[in-house]
Amino acid sequence: MDILQTLIDFFTHYGYFAVFFVLLICGFGVPIPEDITLVAGGVISGLGYTNEHWMFVVGMAGVLTGDATMFLLGRFYGNTLLQWPLVARVVTPERFVAVQAKFEKYGVWVLFVARFLPGLRSPIFITAGVTRRVPFWRFLLMDGLAALISVPVWVYLGFLGASNRDWLLTWVHRGQTGLLGLIGVSVVGGIAFWWMKRRRKQQAAALVHAVGKDRKRSRRTR
């Protein structure tokens, strides 16, 4: 967890701006753990350098700004963005096709789950923008809902564990496992809701079709 101490030292000197900046570049795919970044922000709040509630606000702003930037770059530049050297390393042709297949299968729920998948987050957000499958407001809604789960967990966990690093590290690992479990439950619930909604539409369509047939038969017998 040397990265945690490094971030704590950096944030202690530069405060909210440093936290926002690191979260922003995390959104660009820089390999800095977002959860550890948020925990470090919470720790400096627990040590009295910042306010924990404002740190939560800054955390949300940094997370959503980084994610939205990836989406909008894909939206504005389209397939041209995929030819940029840095982007081409992250969004390979195989990954681009795989992400599109996930959208076909799970719809906007892919965006919700992507918030918890550091290695796939940027490719998914860029692909969503390039393919224009999702309007920007819906992207922000799904990403924001996911962020409202993860961001407060890490910020306030860091705040509570600022003076007990061993306890903090233990709960960081437990929190990662717990969030993954919560993701699984959320995805299953979302798929179940989608399936029930689709089934109701099919049943309604079948009922309308049956009623139409009955009316035609009644007209013929008259």
**Measuring CA to CA, how many Å separate 173 from each of 35, 103, 187?**
10, 30, 21
pLDDT digits 0-9 by tens, 21-65: 999 988 777 878 888 899 999 999 988 999 999 999 999 999 999
Lowest mean pLDDT segment, chosen from 16-20, 187-191, 216-220: 187-191
Q: Which one, of 74, 66, 73, lies nearest residue 131 by Cα? A: 74
Q: What is the pTM of this model?
A: 0.73
Buried b (16+ CB within 10 A) or exposed e, 60-92: bbbbbebbbebbebbbebeeebbeeeebeebbe
Instruction: Determine the pLDDT at residue 2.
Output: 79
CA 164, chain centre distance (Å)? 29
Q: What does R_g of the chain's alpha carbons equal in angstroms?
A: 22
Separation CA 126–CA 78 (nearest Å): 9
Phi-psi domain of 51 (left: phi exceeds 0; alpha: psi -120 through 50; beta: other): beta
Give yes or no for residue 72 having a pLDDT over 80. yes
